[in-house]
Amino acid sequence: MCFRALQRIRGKNPDEPILDGSYMIMTREAYIELSKEEGLVIFPERVPLDATYRIATKANLDKIALFLVYPAEWYIADLWDCNSYGLQAQLDAGRKYQTTVRLGLGMLDNDDIGIHEYHGFATAKDIDGNRWLLEPNAGFPWSGKWFRNGEYGYSLDKEFV
């Protein structure tokens, strides 16, 4: 079935992007090895999750970025917080856009907004092998656009694959 027809059948909002269908399928083992080469701790490494990952082009990641951002008002300390935002982005990217995005964990050390703590967010690789991070909480000034590890004070060290 055509990719666009599949999106229509699944009840897509007409305002949401239609991806061009460019992606690469990668085995879980290969994805883990690439992440380890970046120095990331993989969590959980030995739990049987997805056997393959659908890695998108950067252009497709850019198309879905704003749709993986959620209202700051959803935040509830120790109940629905940063890691929940990252997991929601992971789930929606797969369900709505058939694209692999994962929960990333690491330090957020940013003097401009006064946050210096361990933090959850979204992370993805593109088909060129580049690592991208996304802040899915709309309360951050840079939410809704992919950025590199190290920007805005983010330091990715763990990935939920």
Tell me whether residue 3 is in a domain.
no
DSSP structure class, residue 70: B
Helix (H, G, I), strand (E, B) or coil at 67: helix
Tell me whether residue 136 is in a domain.
yes
pLDDT of residue 22: 81
Given a contact cutoff of 8 angstroms between Cβ atoms, the answer to whether 119 and 154 are in contact is yes
Q: What is the pLDDT of residues 77-127, one digit of tens each?
A: 989 999 999 999 999 999 999 999 999 999 999 999 999 999 999 999 999
Tell me whether residue 24 is in a domain.
no
The domain that holds 86 is classified in CATH as 3.30.460
Q: What is the pLDDT of residues 49-64, one digit of tens each?
A: 788 899 999 999 999 9
Tell me whether residue 88 is in a domain.
yes
Q: Which residues of 123-148 are buried (b: 16+ CB within 10 A; e: fewer)?
A: bbbbbeeebbbbbbbbebeebeebee
* pTM of structure: 0.81
Tell me whether residue 13 is in a domain.
no
Q: Is the pLDDT of residue 129 over 90?
A: yes
Number of domains into which the chain is organized: 1
Which residues constitute the domain of residue 83? Answer: 37-104+115-160
Tell me whether residue 140 is in a domain.
yes
Smallest CA-to-CA distance from 64 within 42, 92, 41 is with 92
Instruction: Give me the phi and psi of 33, to 5 degrees please.
Output: -60, -45
Beta bridge partners of 134: 122
